[in-house]
Amino acid sequence: MGITDRKEKQKAEIRRMILDASMKLFVDQGFENVSIRKIADLIEYSPTTIYLYFKDKDDILFSLHELGFQKMQEYNEGLWDIKNPLLRLHKMGENYIRFGLSNPEFYDLMFIQRAPMQKVEQIDNCEWKSGDVALGRLKDTVREGMDKGLIVKGDVDAVSMAIWSMVHGLVSLAIRDRFDKLVPQEAILPMMTQALNWLVETIDLTLRK
């Protein structure tokens, strides 16, 4: 390995250290309570080193968001081979639930903790690309369902928000252990799947009236 390759490898390792330390601190202490100095102290580097890799704390958070959405995309491989948009929507919901339950720390950062979303476009090279792709695919599926008469026509944004809000609520309650009073631990996932089935079936039945 040449000098240039070693330097690039070292840079990648330090960047990963920063992201891993930030993830731990954001989850344990909350984004608003973490400073660049705290992150630097955890990895035993100076705050100046952090700024060589990230513009500020927001940049770090959005980089973690991007990693999370990339992980989510892995769950949706082959999803667009499903021609029926209603079935695809159902599968999207299942994958969303699986991702959230399997990656609670990422889910917490991406969808629960307060984030300065208005700053996304102000950060160089931070376009929240994978997040926009995920939302766009949900809206495209809803729109296609409406065009094919499988989903009642309406405002695509509003319907997408309603669907997203339901599965988000299920995952959020589950990873915060709020279902314990409702069902036993082993019944949580089947219950969430049943709720998702109800949602999609309700959409379908509404059209049949």
Q: Which amino acid is at 178?
A: R
- pLDDT for res 182: 83
Q: How far is CA 195 from the centre of its chain?
A: 20
Low-confidence ranges of the chain (pLDDT < 50): 127
Which of 21, 36, 54 is at the close of a domain? 54
Residues 49 and 110 in one domain: no
Helix axes 85-102, 57-75, angle to 10 degrees: 130
Residues 50 and 102 in one domain: no
> CA separation (Å) from 183 to 67, 96, 149, 180, 194?
32, 21, 36, 6, 13
- Domain identity same for 78 and 151: yes
Q: Which domain holds residue 21?
A: 1-54
Note the pLDDT of residue 206.
58
Q: What is the pLDDT of residue 113?
A: 85
Same domain for 62 and 38, yes or no, is no
- Write out the DSSP string of 70-135: HHHHHHTTTGGG---HHHHHHHHHHHHHHHHHH-HHHHIIIIIS---GGGGGGSTT---HHHHHHH
pLDDT of the residue at 2: 75
Please report, for the domain that includes residue 99, its CATH number. 1.10.357.10
Please tell me whether residues 128 and 149 are part of one structural domain. Answer: yes
pLDDT at 88: 95
pTM: 0.84
Please tell me whether residues 22 and 96 are part of one structural domain. Answer: no
pLDDT at residue 205, as a whole number: 58
Both tokens of 183, joined, read: 């069902």
Structure tokens at 95: 């994958």
Residue 40 sits in the same domain as residue 65 = no
* Residue 74 to residue 134: CA distance in whole angstroms: 11
